[in-house]
Amino acid sequence: MTRKEQYAQLIPQIVGLIKGETNLVGILANVSAALHEAFPERFFWTGFYLHEEGKTLSLGPFQGSVACYSIPFGKGVCGKAWEQGRTLIVPDVEEFPGHIACSSLSRSEIVVPMYDSSHTFCGVLDIDSIRLDDFNDDDKDGLERVIALLMEETSNLFQQK
């Protein structure tokens, strides 16, 4: 199966996980699990950092090994994706200035920022791969679709947080 096909298969599964649910932490945990399990040979950390108070991201639901609790605006790949307001693909984390290393196993990374229906920043989806240069435009498109779907269904839950 191609990556495109893998993401196409994931979409209905993720819709099923989210529809009608009101438990935001549970939804984010299940979405990170579904993504993580879809690519077990590549993804070793799959999860969310959430915008809490001020200019900081706070560790949210994830799958994988222990990770740092907070990331300031503009710092690391996550803080940079927030600052730049776009998906960032880092082919080699060692070449990314200011990369925050949570595990030496991480070789490449993709971070997708999340916005609610009022365009307010909510956090990021962060995925680390054990492979160098592992993320391409199929991952970007697929993961941005997953996040668009997630935010369509959970904007109100983020706003009530």
Q: Name the site residues for ligand SME (rule: CB under 6 A).
A: 45, 67, 71, 76-78, 99-100, 102, 106, 109, 126, 128
Q: CB 17 → ligand SME: shortest distance, Å?
A: 22
Planar angle of CA 26, 62, 151, nearest 5 degrees: 55
Q: CB 155 → ligand SME: shortest distance, Å?
A: 24
DSSP of 60-120, one letter per residue? EEEEES---SEEETTSHHHHHHHHHTS-EEES-GGGSTT---S-TT--EEEEEEEE-TT--
Q: CB 37 → ligand SME: shortest distance, Å?
A: 18
- Dihedral angle of Cα 146, 151, 152, 158, to the nearest 10 degrees: 160
Name the residue nearer to ligand SME (CB basis): 72 or 151.
72
Q: Are 135 and 91 in contact (CB under 8 A)?
A: yes
Name the residue nearer to ligand SME (CB basis): 128 or 142.
128
Name the residue nearer to ligand SME (CB basis): 13 or 63.
63
| Residue number closest to ligand SME, CB atom | 76
Give the HSE-up count for residue 49: Cα atoms under 13 Å, Cβ half-sphere: 28
Q: CB 80 → ligand SME: shortest distance, Å?
A: 7
Name the residue nearer to ligand SME (CB basis): 72 or 153.
72
